[in-house]
Amino acid sequence: MAIVIQVQGKPRPQGSKRLVNGRMIESSAGLPAWRESIRAETQRAMNGNRVMGGAVRAELVFLMPRPKGHMGVNGIRKGAPALPTIVPDLDKLARAVLDGIVNGGAIQDDSQVTTLVAKKVYADDRVAGLIVRLSEDV
């Protein structure tokens, strides 16, 4: 069984936490809403399927918005990078996704993910967001 989850929106990293007035707060603005979107789309993609048990392979493609500085009058400027080698870090983006798919009921715990393949690309002619493919790992 494979599950494909598509989430629209600007991908947010789950990074460090900071202490504010005695409470731990996520440093990444927009993370709670992003994680909630992942949870909701995971739940929708599950469509009544059972929680995946055992080892899971997770393939993540982050569709990042291209910076405005990369754009010219006629589209993408010549010399603009093909891939997003800027923040946020790929590992921090993945961390937020794994928590979201657990909360959405696709897997019981993110420790089930035994293979993680992740990539950042510019969305360009697509909507910024995330595509996740979960499958049994063998």
- Contact in structure between 12 and 34 (CB atoms under 8 Å): yes
Domain of residue 107, residue span: 2-136
The pTM (predicted TM-score) of the whole model is: 0.91
CATH classification of the domain holding 38 = 3.30.1330.70
Confidence of residue 115 (pLDDT cuts 50, 70, 90): very high
Per-residue three-class SS string for 31-79: HHHHHHHHHHHHHHHHCCCCCECCCEEEEEEEEECCCHHHEECCEECCC
pLDDT tens digits for 52-108? 999 999 999 999 999 999 999 999 999 999 999 999 999 999 999 998 999 999 999
Tally of domains in the chain: 1
Widest CA span of the chain, in angstroms? 51
